[in-house]
């Protein structure tokens, strides 16, 4: 009998400022952000090695950015993965703000 593969689930975890992707209840990766007014500044995305190369980062970021849209916020793609994703997904272009030196200084001070 064939087994169907588990459907990944993406959750926003406000207390940790990140979105997580779960596979079969196990955390497979995350994309981390800080909020700067109406801007959600994404600065790091990672998928655990055991789950790499399955398109999970793409699914995670797609759902995270859709949540940003639904929340009425804007996207600042400091994370190179999110920036690359946005180059290929023009449907989010109207929500994207530039990564400026001001944003980078602000992020540094937030992340210590």
Ligand X SMILES: CC(C)(COP(=O)(O)OP(=O)(O)OC[C@H]1O[C@@H](n2cnc3c(N)ncnc32)[C@H](O)[C@@H]1OP(=O)(O)O)[C@@H](O)C(=O)NCCC(=O)NCCS
What residue ranges bind ligand X (CB under 6 A)? 44-47, 52-58, 79-81, 84
Nearer to ligand X, 1 or 98 (CB): 98
Compute the distance between CA of residue 11 and CA of residue 34 in angstroms, rounded to an integer: 16
Residue of minimal Cβ distance to ligand X: 57
In the bound complex, what is the minimum distance in angstroms from residue 54's beta carbon to ligand X? 6
Compute the distance between CA of residue 4 and CA of residue 18 in angstroms, rounded to an integer: 28
Residue 44: is it exposed, middle or buried by C-beta count within 10 angstroms (0-12/13-18/19+)?
middle
Nearer to ligand X, 52 or 93 (CB): 52
In the bound complex, what is the minimum distance in angstroms from residue 45's beta carbon to ligand X? 5
């Amino acid at each position: 009998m064939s087994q169907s593969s588990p459907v990944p689930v993406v959750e926003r975890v406000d207390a940790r400022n990140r979105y997580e992707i779960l596979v079969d209840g196990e955390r497979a990766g995350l994309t981390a952000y800080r909020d700067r007014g109406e801007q959600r500044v994404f600065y790091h995305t990672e998928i655990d090695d055991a789950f790499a190369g399955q398109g999970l980062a793409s699914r995670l970021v797609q759902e995270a950015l859709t949540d940003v849209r639904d929340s009425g916020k804007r996207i600042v793609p400091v994370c190179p993965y999110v920036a690359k994703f946005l180059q290929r997904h023009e449907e989010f272009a109207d929500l994207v703000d530039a990564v400026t030196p001001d944003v980078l200084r602000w992020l540094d001070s937030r992340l210590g």
